[in-house]
Amino acid sequence: MGDIFNVGFFGHNKSGKTVLGESILFKAKAIERMGDINAGTTTFDYDEEAVRRQMSVNLSLGFCQWQNKTIYLVDCPGYMDFVGEQLGAVEAVDVAIINVAANSGVEVGTERIWEVIQKKKVPAIVFVNKLDLPEINLNNLWAEMEKCFGVRLVFVTYPVLQENQLKGVSRVLESEPTGEEYRQKSMDSLAEIDDTLMEKYLETGQLSREEISSLMKQGLRERRIMPVLCGSAINLIGIEELLDFIVSFLPSSEEMPEFAARTPEGEAVTRKPSRDEPLSGMIVKTISDPFVGRLSYLRVRSGKLQANSTLFNVTRGVKERVGNLLRLQGKKQEPVPEAYPGEVVAVAKLMESRTFDTFCDPGAPIVYAAPAIPEAAVSYSIAPKVKGTEDKLGNAIGRITEEDPTIKVFRDPETGETIISGMGDVHLDVTINKFKNRYGVEVEKGIPKIAYKETITTSAQGEGKHKKQTGGRGQYGHCFVKVEPLPRGAGYEFVDEIVGGAIPRNFIPSVEKGVREGLLRGVLARYPIVDIRVRLYDGSYHVVDSSDIAFQLAGILAVQKAVQEAKPILLEPIVNVEVRVPQEFVGDIIGSINAKRGRVLDMSASGNTQIVKAQVPLAEMSGYTSEIRSITSGKGSYLMAFSHYEEVPAHLAERIIDQRRREREEKAAS
């Protein structure tokens, strides 16, 4: 049909994404006036935390009409702590609009989200924002973008300056004045996409608007080009041109490539983004509200979703009743009768469904791959401030973990504390504030704990036997497992290699349940064990005495014994750190990073500011805000985001293990 377009705004924190979305809504007359981030009145940043912090903390939705086409807009937080929202936004969109602030260039948040966009194979365009600011060097910025994105850039609009003031933009592809010198470079890049049109272009030097549109759509679908537009969102410069470009040159939702999926049996299949195909899609966000209940954001990928119907959640194997379909303009809701490919709508009170679940027609079940949730990097202990509100806190924890899959809450069996883990300090601060503001329960936050992990470095075998006979029916479970290391970040795999009925099929899930439980407490310092494959290859059973619980206990024993023999090591979270300081402080900053066991990866300049990018163990970053202020007299700043896990140096690992052992002994003595 070609009448639905779906785009999202991505980029570094405070680069101007939300204002860009606001300006599009205003220009398209979807809202009556432009909201102000400082006043907390924008369409997308309506959440209390977003208003207070003056930055996006949630994926947010909007829509507008332009030239009788519907454009769905997804606003995505730039701060890397909110990676769960970013993953949801990437799943929700057809095309990413990467917002680059002209005065700051390509920043670390842009680089990180670009990695996610590339991995998902989402086509992207660039909007160079804030060109109204002084002393912008567009040539340097262009080189920086080419280096970062690694895709051929195509100028679509170019700034028109008068006395160094931004007055408008020129449409390069339409050969408006001031754009001709850039037109040839852009046209050359486009013509290379199709051999036939390349021949015509070489012969005549011209292509029609329809041919340019066709090449642009093909180049985007194949991710061979990255169109670049520019302007100033706050001043509404370049916004009309951006809207025209979206509906004239971007592929519509039904012109996008087929989606890769699998059948429930694991066979690879594809699904066209057509309304003639069976229904399919993904839940990209869940909001748990104490007043309105659970609200799920559904991205339709194929077929038609109707209000007052039933959908099949293939991830969980359940049917869900759908009531009203709600199209969202920020926090405002508008009922719609149906939703087609490219549309993102909200549905209230789905009982079983969670973020990143696949929904589909029960007669044609397929499963879309859910994004991998990164390991939490920062943890705090939490406890209710007021005694007697434990149940209230427990309910709030359940709701919040449903809403945000990157938040983990668990009880530490060593200390008895309730631990909340997340992507960073800001992420956890926002989450903890929700307990009070949304659920009316105040919590006390304990000292940050580093989320260490354990893993193995070699293969080993272990036997687990649980046998108990005390009169009457006994207990008997017996298994053999082999453990093998997996690549860093791979997580956990369980492989069933039982043959000949050594363990009955109905007890194998019990062994795996025990194995999972055994991996929660490592053998070095009782930290969770990760990046491990466990092969169940043999065992035995008793016709009368074997039971689920007996095989669970056998699984725990077997995996713990195997891990002890597999040369276990301690892992620590490593964070990406980007420090921005005046030139005179660079030496001191590098010295501080080296003193923290960090590695400097890159140094660059942005205007008068020097940018130092490094990787540092999270354990060394406590108090770094104060340290940077002290070093730079308050002129420096930094951003931090989880990167990966690495082995802890042996001398430090011994210290950590000894500390955990002393904590256990002190607890036992008390």
Distance CA(580)–CA(594), nearest Å, equals: 16
**Considering the chain, what is the average pLDDT of its residues?**
91
Query: 377: pLDDT confidence band, cut at 50, 70 and 90?
Result: low
CATH number at residue 496: 3.30.230.10
Amino acid in position 409: V
The CATH number of residue 605's host domain is: 3.30.70.240
Q: What is the CATH number of the domain that holds 309?
A: 2.40.30.10
DSSP 285-307: EEEEETTTEEEEEEEEEES-EET
132 with 164, same domain: the answer is: yes
Q: What is the pLDDT of residue 422?
A: 86
pLDDT recorded at residue 669: 80
In angstroms, rounded to a whole number, what is the distance separating the alpha carbons of residues 302 and 124? 21
**306 Cβ neighbours under 8 A, 6+ residues apart:** 322, 325, 337, 338
Gap between the Cα atoms of 539 and 463, Å rounded: 8
Residues 6+ apart with CB under 8 A from 253: 4, 5, 6, 94, 273, 340, 341, 342, 343
At residue 423, the pLDDT reads 83
Asked which of 15-29, 245-259, 390-404 is least confident by mean pLDDT, the reply is 390-404
Pair (575, 561) in one structural domain: no
Interval 569-574 mean pLDDT: 94
Helix (H, G, I), strand (E, B) or coil at 263: coil
Pair 15, 79 in one domain: yes
Domain contains 189: no
The label of the residue with tokens 């540092």 reads 616
CATH number for 87: 3.40.50.300
CB 408 within 8 A of CB 418: no
Question: In this structure, are 511 and 591 located in the same domain?
Answer: no
Residue 142: pLDDT over 70: yes
> Of the residues 567, 599, 625, which one is the last residue of a structural domain?
567
Q: pLDDT of 586-643, one tens digit each?
A: 999 999 999 999 999 999 886 567 889 999 998 998 778 778 878 988 777 777 778 8
Structural domain ending residue among the three candidates 546, 567, 588: 567
Q: 602 with 590: CB under 8 angstroms? A: no
411 and 472 assigned to the same domain: no
Using CA atoms, how far residue 482 sits from 465, 497, 561, 563, 570, in Å, is 15, 10, 10, 9, 20
Nearest to 452 by CA among 649, 210, 255: 649
Task: Select from 450, 480, 502 the last residue of a domain.
Answer: 450
Do both 386 and 519 map to the same domain?
no
Residue 580 banded pLDDT, cuts 50, 70, 90: confident
CATH code assigned at 423: 3.30.70.870
Query: Is there a domain that residue 533 lies in?
Result: yes
Q: Is residue 659 part of a domain?
A: no
- 157 and 239 housed in the same domain: yes
On whether residue 13 sits in a domain, the answer given is: yes
Model pLDDT, residue 605:
80
CA angle (301 as vertex; 298, 305 as ends), nearest 5: 60
**What band does 557 get if pLDDT is binned at 50, 70 and 90?**
very high
Answer whether residue 196 is part of any domain.
Answer: no
Answer yes or no: do 104 and 229 share one domain. yes
Q: Do 382 and 295 belong to one domain? A: no
Q: Pairing mode, if any, of strands 268-271 and 259-262?
A: antiparallel
Residue 422 lies in a domain: yes
Tell me the Cα Rg of the chain. Answer: 27
Buried b (16+ CB within 10 A) or exposed e, 233-257: bbeebbbbbbbbbbbbbbbbbbbbe
What letter does residue 406 receive in the DSSP assignment? T
Residue 595's domain comprises 571-651
> Do the domain assignments include residue 420?
yes
- 484 with 549, same domain? yes
Q: What is the domain count for the chain?
A: 5
Shared domain for 578 and 646, answered yes or no, is yes
Domain match, 503 and 535 both: yes
Whether 131 is covered by a domain: the verdict is yes
Site of tokens 């659970």? 294
User: Is the pLDDT score of 1 beyond 70?
Assistant: no
Q: pLDDT by residue (tens digit) across 159-202? A: 998 888 899 999 988 765 456 667 888 888 898 998 888 888 88
Question: Is the sign of the CA dihedral 580, 586, 589, 593 positive or negative?
Answer: positive
User: Which tens digit of pLDDT belongs to each residue from 486-515?
Assistant: 999 888 999 999 998 899 999 999 999 999
